[in-house]
Structure 1
Amino acid sequence: MKNVLGLRCIKCGQELPALPGVYTCPSCGPKEGILDVEYDYQAIKRETTREELSQGKERSIFRYLPFLPVKPDTPRPHLRVGMSPLYQPAGLRQSLGLSHLYVKDDGQNPTASLKDRASIIAVIKAVEEGAGTIACSSTGNAASSLAGSAAAMGLKTFIFVPGRAPQGKIAQLLIFGANVISVQGSYEDAFSLSAAAIERFGWYNRNAAINPYLVEGKKTVALEIAEQLNWEVPDWVVLSVGDGCTIAGVWKGFKDLYQVGWIDRLPKIAGVQSTGCSPLADAFLENRPWRPAAENTIADSIAVGVPRNPEKALRAVRESGGTMIAVSDEEILDAMRELGRTSGIFGEPAGVTGTAGLKALVKQGVIKPDEKVVSIVTGNGLKDVQNAIKAAGEPIKVEPSLNELLLKLEGRI
């Protein structure tokens, strides 16, 4: 990996080599010693230009290979991850009162979430390190994305999920052949058990808050946004936040592009959580250290009461000059309906939490009507059909009778 200089601890600044088994800072420990991947930006600039990249035929995250911590010759899964569409939904623009609104629909990835970007990097790194088994804990999306990428790569998986994980996500895991351990407790319980099992059996660790390479996959959503906007950076990027890894990746992606001179400014980042589980939003808004929170929200993918990457997440928002906000489950359900009916995009609760937060930030005057905004939808609504029905309502039930149909349709046509 000639483009990678090494790893750096975000707490103490210690520099470490990018070697197998090096995932956290030995001085600061696994909880606080989170590492960043450091790149040789001069080498990247010598290797390619944004014009050459835009002319490339690769239609996945690997079009950005110079910005990724993988060896060019390592085998990759055949799944197409990345290059999800960036829409300009006129109906949603009008509904929210924004002149320049874009929606990045990452529910179009192979297992229907943004987490595919991280998991495909994880399985490649596992192969590079000679691992035959890979494991993680997850509220659902990271789990299904790992199981899918690992199945495509021929790796064995052990997945730890909290008992509340939706059945749609469990079904994906089982179809992909994963060994699914449903932990009858919180996400924190699932994470702790997975960490103990990974250490005991020596499995490759896909947990994004521990493994520094996973953020590098997630950052490709920012690289795509920049390219899809012809390298014109938006004023705001808005997305949901759980563990903190995705928002950290988005910020890292834009900073990478700025370092190589492909963009001339950086966006503000807005992170959105549910009021039922908002440890990072509360810490940011109250300007205090974060504290553990209850996991009481329908947005299961971001129901993380003890986030494992809090400092990277808060750093991303603060460095960007952005903000955080928490929205209620009712606002999230409303965003599911509004996004679907005005744009034809179906997002799961956690996937549309960013849209719900965007609506609130516009109403508060934080985001101005004429600013250019990208809202990232991180997961597809088919992952949580139960809450989709709660948001949209039940179908019209009729007997096979035209007269009854006419009665039921009265006022609708």
Structure 2
Amino acid sequence: MTGRRRPPSFRPSRTLTGAVAAGTLLLSGCGALPGGSGDSREPVTVVTWAPGGDSAPEAANMAGMTAMAQAYGRWVNASGGIDGHELRVVTCDEQDTSRGAAACARRAVEEEAVAVLGSYSRHGRSFMAPLEAAGIPYIGGYGASDEEFRSYMAYPLTGGQSALMAGNAEQLSGDCDRVALVRPDTLSGDSQAWLLRTGLTGAGRPAPLDIPAAEGATSYDEEAGRALSDAGTGGGCVTSVLGDRTETFFDSFRRLEPAGARVRVSSVLGSVGQPLIDRTGGRNSPFEGAYVTGWYPAPGDKRWDAMRKVIREHAFGDNRIDPDDTGVQTTWIAYTALKSVVESLHEERVTAGKVTQALVKGLRVDTGGLTPRLRWRYEDTLGSEAYPRIVNSKVTFQVVRDGRLVAARKGFVDVTRTLADASATR
């Protein structure tokens, strides 16, 4: 036993704690779990963090991820826990700052977490070092920091932004004679341009017109004009990957687009998703007809039914949780992956070390079909210097029809070749 005092009742409760002051929530309980082995199996503590308090910028508010973690904890404990273990969920407001990220990581160490799951942070340098020192695996982050695809304690579920851009190139190469790319004027944006170029030229298409743009602009008329001049006639396509500013770009683009032209537009999940399409008019949205490259099945896919049922029955109407949001989906998949790991151990006491050992030794993790089955042995990684921890190089092709993201192609599309080619020639 850990020696930590636990409340006398198993009924889950929410308690304010202090990792980042009022930003941290604790879901806990104790006692015998239905179907478990009495008190012989210790609780399993996990941590999920994301910016979500008043201090986080609105564009970076990912509170749905921590809320999803709490709902998952309530559901799994009401169902008997994981292999007889109560799941103790600690959530933390990362505040979208390096200080907040470091504080959340220290909280995970203090709580003796067996893993950090389904979290969002752009400050990998701040949170990964404490996790590495404590031997705590980081499973299924959102992919917002490079460290998630480099650290030996990172176990990513997807290929991150790199896989999306490689996939976007393949998705566009089938229908677009030429492509204009509007992307951030940053090092990350440079990488996006290189991946799109590698994928398009590898498919026999011309290199895209590369249009760097300021991340914080309130208008993109100049960039939209350049994109239209290159791709505004038959056979041309425009793709934009500007995060929360993608909506602003396409507002400018559609305003300048000649009547009746309706140039094919495109983006990737994280820049465009179902919540944005809903907010901008559904079937009357400027994204109607757009191609979108994603990591997971489209929102209406039946493989999401289990998550939706848990949200209906255990989120208690928490409006922070949108089942169509990619962040919420990532958290659900990360918790599903951990459940697979814990059930494979059959241990009375689960530790971070035991979880890590299972992953290192080649446990194949089932995510209910929401990703391919995953394994993180050395030989399963992409094997490139640029993307050393990627084990899932598959993406999905989606399209906006009648205001809904639906599958444009069945199944997953493997973009390993484009990622490897881009890494080798960079």
Tell me whether the two structures share a fold, i.e. TM-score over 0.5. Answer: no
State the TM-score, normalized to the length of structure 2: 0.28
State the TM-score, normalized to the length of structure 1: 0.29
